[in-house]
Structure 1
Amino acid sequence: MSYKSRAILIGVLSALFFAVTFVLNRSMSLDGGSWLWTASFRYYWMILLLLPILALRNELKPLCQHMRLHWWRWLLWSTVGFGIFYGGLTYASSFAPGWLLASTWQITIIAGVCLAPFLGNTHNKLSRNSILFSLLILLGVFIVQIPQAKAVSTAALLKSVVPITLAAFAYPLGNRKMMQLVDGQLSALQRLCGMTLASLPCWILLSATAIAQHDIPSGNLLFQTFLIALFSGVIATWLFFKATDLVRNDQKSLAAVEATQSTEVIFALIGEVLILHAVIPDPLSMLGIGIVILGMILHSRKS
């Protein structure tokens, strides 16, 4: 199996675990949980989970040394890649079902294509196929949004679409800038732990805002954010980082790996129907989801 095929398979597996985020965030939102606590506690739990693992692997000291040398870049790109990304994701979950957010989230694929020329990757240009398949995925996202646009107010739609779009650009930007900074010197797990630690000021700020609003997290929210931290924050993100690390010097393969995240739509939809008893999307939305998945398949096979 080639390194690209291996990276794509790992990417699909990470999408399965990432889908937990969309389902449980929606569940907590329906229960009245604050997005401020939902976002913050995912990363608090992740720190508690990751630090002992790195300590046992003797990987904590090299990480701390690297972070001290490049502290401001760790702080900046971790805030972008984790803070803006997940803050936008959890805020949007208050206004739309998880499967819809998972569909809109696929804008991150076209975001990765748009960002490539600005990240010093001009020596390894994307093919015309990569751009066309990314646009196909974007078309599917727009089709998915049509029924939703008819059913809700413009304000509610913007409150879900705008934060997700911002998050979709922030995640690949932060991830790619950190890959450039680390440049293979640290493992995917070290990079994950380092970005979690460096984004801590963002989560403390959100928590302080929640406390100022006299909002206290429930026991159910604490449990569900722990599950998100474990399955999505640690397992899924580590798998995704591992997949992108495998192809970090190949922009075409990197775009294909990022495209595997479109399978989150299927996993999130199944999860919401089974766990939250959500209504199955109408035929037009299903057509849009199908186009998104087709774009992902073409991306992974033909790019």
Structure 2
Amino acid sequence: MNAPPAATSRATALVAVGIALVSALFFTCTYVLNRAAAVDGGHWAWIASLRYLITLPLLWLLLRTQGASPVWRALRASPGPWLAWSGIGFVLFYVCLSAAAASGPSWLIAGTFQLTVVAGMLCAPFLYPRGDVRARVPMPALLAGAVVIAGIALMQAGEADGALDAQAWLAVALVAVSAFAYPLGNRGLLLHLERVGVELDATQRVFGMTLASQPLWLAIAAFAWWRAGPPGVEQVALAGGVALGAGVIATVLFFRATGLVRRDPTALAAAEAMQAAEILFATLIGALWLGEAWPRGIALIGAGVVIVGIVLFSAAAAHATSGKPRVLRARRGDRGA
């Protein structure tokens, strides 16, 4: 069955892109704090599980003003899809990202994860039913994604200063899996909610996926305790920072952005692609606050290419929605599937 026509205005598309860009700023803390925990001797399983174990009560407090009852009803009605998509979009995503932190530097992880700018688009033909407009890969967005990836590759080449060793290549492989798992889990849950006609806002969706993933996180935490003993105070503190910055603020903003344009494949791809700005934010923060060197030579050129790609994504989203009706349906916003 074909999806309902997209009802996304140009303004809505650009708002979604802006929100996603802000989410990328908060996501940036993940790489630095995870790498700090790994260098300090923290086990990857603790790095992964602590974030989501801490995120759950934070989201619960946030939802007290909005109500968690709709989430409980949705979980009880169809626990299978929630378990599956949270297992992919949260557990597989973050286990791979955390394990990579023990194998490679933060710049390598941050850069490789930007494969996510095309991951959602490439997964679309396998996720949406035949005939659904979202199953088609939007070529303008794909070309803009190729520009972003080319820029990131230049930045990576400037940072690498030579061949990568086996551990670094392992980190690249793990982060590549993570980059596909995150948008796939988000899109899969949006599609499930659409099919069953359940309306949940961004915070409720994040809370539901965090809650559904808890059995797996508890199992991973038990494994971490068995292999490395209890986590240290500093590791818990670092995980708390990631939980607040990335697990709550960034994830809710990202889910809101993708929810706003969930029926428009080009605008959805553009919102997902704003995660590419993470490598720019990481570079800027490192230079201004950590005293790291500013990118030079090929890395500086790469940063410029990434910025061009982000602008192209925004232009593609605005152009794709320019011909759509100005009057949106009553169910606008990020509510619904």
Structure 1 contact 75–198 (Cα < 8 Å) conserved:
yes
The answer to whether the aligner puts 1:106 opposite 2:95 as a matched pair is no
Deviation of the 1:277 alpha carbon: 4.2
Aligned-partner SS, 2:28: helix
Deviation of the 1:289 alpha carbon: 3.1
Letter in 1 for 2:184: L
For 1:271 and 1:87, locate their aligned partners in 2 and report how far apart those are by CA, in whole Å: 25
Deviation of the 1:114 alpha carbon: 0.5
For 1:278 and 1:26, locate their aligned partners in 2 and report how far apart those are by CA, in whole Å: 15
Equivalence for 2:95: 87
Letter in 2 for 1:35: W
Deviation of the 1:236 alpha carbon: 0.6
Equivalence for 1:67: 75
Aligned-partner SS, 2:186: helix
Residue ranges of structure 1 left out of the alignment (5+ in a row): none
Which 10-residue stretch deviates more, 207-216 or 284-293? 284-293
Q: Deviations over 1:217-251 (max 9, x none)?
A: 11111111111111111011000000000000000
Equivalence for 2:219: 205
Pick aligned residue for 2:43 from 23, 34, 56: 34
Letter in 1 for 2:187: R
Letter in 1 for 2:55: M
Percent identical among aligned pairs is 38
Deviation of the 1:35 alpha carbon: 1.6
The answer to whether the aligner puts 1:258 opposite 2:269 as a matched pair is no
The answer to whether the aligner puts 1:117 opposite 2:117 as a matched pair is no
Question: TM-score, normalised on structure 1?
Answer: 0.93
Deviation of the 1:293 alpha carbon: 2.6
Equivalence for 1:194: 208
Question: TM-score, normalised on structure 2?
Answer: 0.84
Pick aligned residue for 1:9 from 8, 18, 35: 18
Equivalence for 2:154: 143
Pick aligned residue for 2:145 from 131, 134, 138: 134
Letter in 1 for 2:168: L
Deviation of the 1:137 alpha carbon: 1.9
For 2:298 and 2:315, locate their aligned partners in 1 and report how far apart those are by CA, in whole Å: 26
Structure 1 contact 262–292 (Cα < 8 Å) conserved:
yes
Residues 123, 214 of structure 1: CA spacing in aligned structure 2 closer, same or farther, 3 A cutoff? closer
Aligned-partner SS, 1:143: helix
For 1:24 and 1:276, locate their aligned partners in 2 and report how far apart those are by CA, in whole Å: 13
The answer to whether the aligner puts 1:221 opposite 2:232 as a matched pair is no
The answer to whether the aligner puts 1:21 opposite 2:30 as a matched pair is yes
For 1:192 and 1:142, locate their aligned partners in 2 and report how far apart those are by CA, in whole Å: 31
Deviation of the 1:149 alpha carbon: 5.5
Tell me how many residue pairs correspond in the alignment: 302
Aligned positions of 1:41-60 closer than 5 A: 41-58=50-67, 60=68
For 1:211 and 1:159, locate their aligned partners in 2 and report how far apart those are by CA, in whole Å: 24
Deviation of the 1:152 alpha carbon: 5.4
Q: Deviations over 1:36-87 (max 9, x none)?
A: 11111111111111112223322x1111110011101100110100001111
Residue ranges of structure 2 left out of the alignment (5+ in a row): 1-9, 318-337
Pick aligned residue for 1:155 from 137, 151, 166: 166
Aligned-partner SS, 2:262: coil
Structure 1 contact 23–271 (Cα < 8 Å) conserved:
no
Residues 191, 111 of structure 1: CA spacing in aligned structure 2 closer, same or farther, 3 A cutoff? same
The answer to whether the aligner puts 1:285 opposite 2:299 as a matched pair is yes
Deviation of the 1:94 alpha carbon: 1.9
Deviation of the 1:148 alpha carbon: 5.6
For 2:189 and 2:162, locate their aligned partners in 1 and report how far apart those are by CA, in whole Å: 40
Q: Deviations over 1:164-205 (max 9, x none)?
A: 100000001000001112236111111000100111122112
Deviation of the 1:140 alpha carbon: 2.5
Q: Deviations over 1:66-111 (max 9, x none)?
A: 0011101100110100001111111112233323322211101111
Which of 1 and 2 has greater Rg?
2
For 1:159 and 1:215, locate their aligned partners in 2 and report how far apart those are by CA, in whole Å: 25
